[in-house]
Structure 1
Amino acid sequence: MKRSASLALVGAGAAALGALTLPVHAAADGAAIFGRCAACHTKTGAGVPGVFPPLGEDFRVMASSDAGRRYLGLVVIRGVSGPIKVGGKPYAGVMPAQATLDDASVAAVLNHVGTEIAKTGPAFKPFAEGEVATIRAGGAALSAQDVGKLHAGAGGQ
């Protein structure tokens, strides 16, 4: 009987501990997600002249305005297509939408670029998951071509 009571107490204690344990959610890893981007933009963000633009000062300039932040978020969420100029040089490539990324992952990769890749230009203000959710909702009807047309008005150089 004593052994049964001890096991019951251990079981009850384990159940109580389990009830107090909160689920662990891993934060989105912007550096790991950037591996997708590096295939075209390169590991350093230098890009490929004429094909894939660099992620540098142009990124930081855009991230300093509301229109630019919206554009950057939409580039990841909806993709971008059409002619754009970055650093005064033309690019006519296509970037596919990264539709499988959730809002936290989009914010994480944009924050990685803004802090670890694009190191020149205005101070960088991190993207928040909620901000990305708002950008996603407001751009749901846009195509990659529509996003490309937003580039110049978003502060693209």
Structure 2
Amino acid sequence: MSMRRAMILPVALAALALPAGMASAAADGAKVYQRCAACHLPTGKGVPGAFPPLQSDVRALAGSPAGRHYLALAVTRGLSGPLTVEGKTYRGMMPAQSGLDDEAVAAVLSHVTATIAGGGDAVKPFTAAEVKAARDSGAGLDAAAVARLQPKLTGK
């Protein structure tokens, strides 16, 4: 292995393993998204049949209070299918991202909805208070229960 690759690999792996309880001041949505990109890809297009895309449905969900609540629960409590995303059914599992604090979850959801899903400035950024409210209200839910809360989108 070349010296350059030997140096890059540990840095890349460290980026995926953000510290548990990530400090609020360090919450950068793009950096946190590196965890998500392992399955959903850097583009958010997902992997057909395995990991859903984080684009049009996520952008639509971010536009309603129920959708925003669901997105926060998806990150904090996880998901266990079946889910329908962009008209396709996914039966996989997304683990809860319990190592992220409310600020980090808000940052990654804001990044995903504005940048990955293409919502731009039209999508209101998530707040740590909004994530905390969702986390608290969903404390008794498991990943399958969260998946059943998926809001129905018209035309999907």
Q: Report the TM range for the smaller structure's normalisation.
A: 0.7 to 0.9
Q: Residue in 1 aligned with 2:83? A: 84
- Counterparts of 1:4-83 in structure 2, within 5 Å, are 26-83=25-82
1:64–1:122: 8 Å Cα contact kept in structure 2? Answer: no
2:114–2:121: 8 Å Cα contact kept in structure 1? Answer: no
Q: CA deviation at 1:116?
A: 1.2
Q: CA deviation at 1:56?
A: 0.4
TM-score normalised by length of structure 2 = 0.80
Q: Residue in 2 aligned with 1:155? A: 153
Deviation per CA, 1:52-104: give whole Å up to 9, x if none.
00010100100111110010000000000011111101111100000010000
Kindly tell me: are residues 121 and 32 of structure 1, through their superposed partners in 2, closer, same or farther at Cα, counting changes over 3 Å? closer
What SS does the aligned partner of 1:90 have? strand
Deviation per CA, 1:2-54: give whole Å up to 9, x if none.
xxxxxxxxxxxxxxxxxxxxxxx734111111000000000000000011000
1:78 maps to amino acid: R
CA RMSD of aligned residues (A): 1.8
1:76–1:106: 8 Å Cα contact kept in structure 2? Answer: yes
Large movers: runs of 4+ above 6 Å: none
Q: CA deviation at 1:120?
A: 5.4
Kindly tell me: are residues 122 and 50 of structure 1, through their superposed partners in 2, closer, same or farther at Cα, counting changes over 3 Å? farther
Kindly tell me: are residues 145 and 122 of structure 1, through their superposed partners in 2, closer, same or farther at Cα, counting changes over 3 Å? farther
Q: Residue in 1 aligned with 2:122? A: 123
Separation in 1, partners of 2:70, 2:152: 6
TM-score normalised by length of structure 1 = 0.79
- Matched-pair identity in %: 55
1:60–1:118: 8 Å Cα contact kept in structure 2? Answer: yes
1:60–1:123: 8 Å Cα contact kept in structure 2? Answer: no
Question: Over alpha carbons, which structure has the higher Rg?
Answer: 1
Kindly tell me: are residues 88 and 154 of structure 1, through their superposed partners in 2, closer, same or farther at Cα, counting changes over 3 Å? closer
Give the gaps of 5 or more residues in structure 1: 1-24
